[in-house]
Amino acid sequence: MIIGVPKEIKNNENRVALTPAGAQELVKRGHNVYIQHTAGEGSGFPDEMYVEAGASILPTIEATYEIAEMIMKVKEPIEAEYKLIKENQLMFTYFHFASYEPLTKAMVESKSVCLAYETVEKADKSLPLLIPMSEVAGRMAVQKGANYLEKPLGGRGILLGGVPGVLPAKVLILGGGIVGTQAAWMAAGLGADVTIMDLNLPRLRYLADVMPANVNTMMSNEFNIRKLIQNHDLIIGAVLIPGAKAPNLITRDMLKEMLPGTVLVDVAVDQGGCIETCKPTTHQDPTFVIDDVVHYCVANMPGAVPYTSTLALTNATLPYAIQLANKGWKKAAQDNPELALGLNIINGDIVYQAVAEAFDMDYTPVVKYLAD
Ligand SMILES: NC(=O)c1ccc[n+]([C@@H]2O[C@H](COP(=O)([O-])OP(=O)(O)OC[C@H]3O[C@@H](n4cnc5c(N)ncnc54)[C@H](O)[C@@H]3O)[C@@H](O)[C@H]2O)c1
């Protein structure tokens, strides 16, 4: 198969959909890989590394789209790319269709085949191509929180791990899923006194089993949250109710009960946030202060660490890309139900029900395309 990897053109996006190592794996299997000039640069992969891996470099985005049977990307196509996408071309990338109607309509019109990273789903309901970004954001949440706890940045001036003779900082994590667990490992590793809250008792049991001694677990409810926010230095929002807006677990009135210089990192901000006062911020201007409480609410945290994020994402996408390249999208989706669930739009038909419902558009069950 001919695979094209364009350079990401969305503002501040430095990730790339394929590493030189990934290109090598595809080339080894007999595929032709074309990388747009400088596509990997933002992640630390110059053109020469791709050439050494057996890929070819194309000078422009137009040439990359023109030649490819499968386009591998990171972010959803933006308007300037719509016209480059061809009929029958396989687009393997994040789309998040339900949040943006113009993109959905453009992809319907393109008659391409859109396989969305975010809806590839395993039998246990986990989303293997979203997990890596949650891992990055969870770990980063503690790094950022520790930083903003420093006095010159508005924080309480407390060192996360303390020092001998001085108690460590207290970290409260709301939600013990992927983000919360990774945050807990980082905070615990730095020596903080950590509490994870979740509603899911089996999950709390699991966390209590695997976490080190400086991590406690607690049932998530308003009573417990109100009590703990009064003496915790760093609070990380990491809850998710799939398909719904995050619940406001910390409300405006609660800020007054916190210590001045408390830091809130609401990782769930991309789902509306679990802290009422959190509004999306950017890496350029990541924080704001309300009632002496520092709010960090960057909606695309992994974008700040493109090297790690690119490697983490491609570790997860490559096995699927290889199946798609070896078999073509139809046979790959027939053989692997995880990939079949990734199909969102085929030849102008919306084949993912939630996307069709989001815009009151016609829905075509994907079996229409997968039946022999
Ligand atoms: N800001 C970013 O850059 C960024 C990056 C990656 C992920 N995220 C977001 O982080 C959030 C968490 O993602 P995840 O992968 O960890 O999800 P997850 O499904 O693995 O975990 C969510 C956890 O929240 C728990 N939960 C639900 N309601 C709760 C409540 N009321 N109190 C306490 N816990 C509750 C669930 O039981 C679950 O364990 C999502 O909104 C995700 O989109 C943001």
For residue 372, pLDDT over 90 is answered with no
Give the per-residue pLDDT at 321: 98
| Residues above pLDDT 70, as percent of the chain | 100
> Which residues line the pocket of ligand 1, CB cutoff 6 A?
133-134, 137, 174-180, 197-200, 203, 220, 238-241, 246-247, 249, 267-271, 299-302
The whole model's pTM is what? 0.91
* 75 assigned ligand-binding residue: yes
Name the residues annotated as catalytic: 96, 270
Question: 131-299: same fold as 2-127+306-370?
Answer: yes
Q: In the 3-class helix/strand/coil scheme, how is the chain assigned residue by residue?
A: CEEEECCCCCCCCCCCCCCHHHHHHHHHCCCEEEEECCCCHHHCCCHHHHHHCCCEEECCHHHHHHHCCEEECCCCCCHHHHCCCCCCCEEEECCCHHHCHHHHHHHHHHCCEEEEHHHCCCCCCCCCCCHHHHHHHHHHHHHHHHHHCCHHHCCCCCCCCCECCECCCEEEEECCCHHHHHHHHHHHHCCCEEEEEECCHHHHHHHHHHCCCCEEEEECCHHHHHHHCCCCCEEEECCCCCCCCCCCCECHHHHHHCCCCCEEEEHHHHHCCCECCCCCECCCCCEEEECCEEEECECCHHHHCHHHHHHHHHHHHHHHHHHHHHHHHHHHHHHCHHHHCCEEEECCEECCHHHHHHCCCCCCCCHHHHCC
Mutate to test the pocket of ligand 1, among 239, 245, 297 (most ligand atoms within 8 A of CB): 239
> Which ligand 1 atom is the nearest neighbour of the CA of 197?
33
**Residue to probe by mutation, ligand 1, list 179, 223, 283, most atoms within 8 Å of CB:** 179
Q: Could you tell me which CATH number the domain at 2-127+306-370 has?
A: 3.40.50.720
The band of 244, judged by pLDDT with boundaries at 50, 70 and 90, is confident
Domain ranges, ordered by start, for the chain: 2-127+306-370, 131-299
Percentage of the residues of the chain whose pLDDT score is greater than 90: 94
Q: How confident is the model at residue 243 (pLDDT cuts 50, 70, 90)?
A: low
| CATH class label, 131-299 | alpha beta
